[in-house]
Amino acid sequence: MPSGRLLDTAVSGREYGEVQRFYAHHMQLLDGGEAEKWAATFTEDGTFRVPTLPEPVRGRTALTAVVRQGAEEREKAGEVHRHWHGMITVDSRPDGALDVVCYALVFVSVKGGSSRLHRVCVCRDVLVREEGELRVRSRFVTRDDMP
């Protein structure tokens, strides 16, 4: 970050809390299969790169389709997924965009079965503000178990 300090002082405590709240809503929408509402937390042409998809997903229509398909597959398998973001750092760019790095866990439960840790990931997001609300402009996820 520009100041060389541990915490970017251009990011206020209020804004840090807002990022935490943003991810909470964002993940509740994702895990609840609310595909369109989740896609709306990205910018119109937001991008999403994860190791489990062969290429980056771009734009809300494509993001919606990916989540809808995932929700249907989980439904069929009798599974529930929960995404946790934590250990969130936030640094600001001169234009006000936020560089977020955080850890991400995925837990899977089988209905009538048990719950397990599925994935440990790192998520790198660029968040921007549109109409006063945070949105994901780009996401890049890496998985700790992948070489």
Nearest to 86 by CA among 11, 20, 5, 3: 20
Q: Nearer to a copy of itself by C-beta: 21 or 52?
A: 21
**Number of residues located near a copy of itself, criterion CB under 8 A:** 53
Distance, CA of 93 to CA of 139 (rounded, Å)? 16
Q: Which of 10, 88, 128, 141 binds a copy of itself (CB under 8 A)?
A: 88
Q: Nearer to a copy of itself by C-beta: 94 or 112?
A: 112
Q: Does 4 bind a copy of itself (CB under 8 A)?
A: no
Q: Does 51 bind a copy of itself (CB under 8 A)?
A: no
- Indicate the DSSP class of residue 106: E
Four-residue CA torsion sign, 135, 80, 114, 119: negative
| CA angle at 66 for the pair 98 and 36, rounded to the nearest 5° | 70
**Which residues in this chain contact a copy of itself in the complex, by CB under 8 A?**
5-7, 13-14, 16-18, 20-25, 27-28, 41, 78, 80, 82-90, 101-103, 105, 107, 109-120, 132-134, 143-147
